[in-house]
Amino acid sequence: MDDKPEKSGKVKKEENLVSFIYQCVVIIVGVFLIRSLLIEPFNIPSGSMIPTLQIGDFVAVSKYSYGYSRYSFPFSLPLFEGRVMGSQPHRGDVVVFRYTQDTSIDYIKRVIGLPGDHIRMEDGNLFINDHEVTRDSLGHYEVKDERGRLLSGIRYREHLPASSGDSLVTHEILKMREDDDANNTQEYVVPSGCLFMMGDDRDDSSDSRFQGGRETGKCAAPAGNDFLKASDHDLGFVPMENLVGKAQRVMFSMDLKHPAWAFWYWPVEVRWGRTFHGIN
C-alpha cells in the first residue's frame, strides 16, 4: 500500500522530464527552421554601410528572398550544392552574404552590379554600363565609425538604374573624397553567377572594387584585375551561392557608446527613431 504513492510520484516526475525535453526540442527545431528558412537577425558592427545602416543597428534578414544554399543554415551544413529555389537579387538590394575569403564571416553590402554589368568609378562617380549614376547632394554629414574615427563628407541621394522587373532604387551614400585609386578604377565586367557589391560609405568599404587575384572558382577575378593585390580585405566578385538573405528592416538600434554590460545606459542608448525602420 505504501509503495503506490512513491511509484506514482516517480512516474509523474519521469513524465514531467519527458515533457520538458520534448518542449525544448520543439523550441530548438522551431528556432532552427525560422532562422534557416524565414528570418534571421544580424547586428551591424562596422560603418561600411553608413548612412543607410548605422553601427549598432539590428536588422531582420529574410532568408527566403533569394532561395537557399548551405549558408542559409546554422554551421553552413553541406546539405546540398548551389541554391534551391534560387532567384537573382535586384540591383540596389542590401544583402547579407558570406565573405569570399572566409565563408565563416558575414558581410553586408549593396548589390551594384549584376551578371554581365560593366562597372567603373571615375573621379568618384559610379558608372554602370557606361551610364553615370545620378546623385543629389544632401549636404555635409559626419559620424564616427567603429574605431572612433570621424567620417566627414557629403551625403548624397543616389539613383541606381532599375534591374529587370524592378524600379529605380534611391538610397543614400557618403562620399569623403574623389581622387584616390578606389574612386578611379578600371572597368569590371561581372561574371555569370556573380555579383558586384559596394558599401554605401563609398570611401571606407572593402568591397568588390578590391580584387587581389587570390579568388578561385567561377567568380575569380580575371587576369589583370589585381586592384590592391596586397590587401587582405579583398572581396572581389561575390558568388550567388554565398548569399544569406536580403536585409529588410532595422528592428532596433543602439548607440553603443558605453560597454554592453552597463545596462543602466541601455534605455538612453536606444535610437528610437530607427526602430522598425525600413531599409532602402
Partners of 59 in the β-ladder: 42, 250
Catalytic: which of 46, 63, 109, 163? 109
> Is there a catalytic annotation at residue 76?
no
The answer for residues whose C-beta is within 8 angstroms of residue 258's C-beta and 6 or more apart is 265, 269
Planar angle of CA 52, 53, 56, nearest 5 degrees: 160
What contacts 92, CB < 8 A, 6 or more positions away?
A: 110, 111, 160, 163, 166, 169, 171
Sign of CA dihedral 12, 15, 21, 25: negative
- Active-site choice (46, 48, 69, 205): 48
109 is catalytic: yes
β strands within 216-279, DSSP E = 238-239, 243-253, 277-278
Task: Scan for cell 532596433, then name that residue.
Answer: 252
Q: Which residues are catalytic?
A: 48, 109
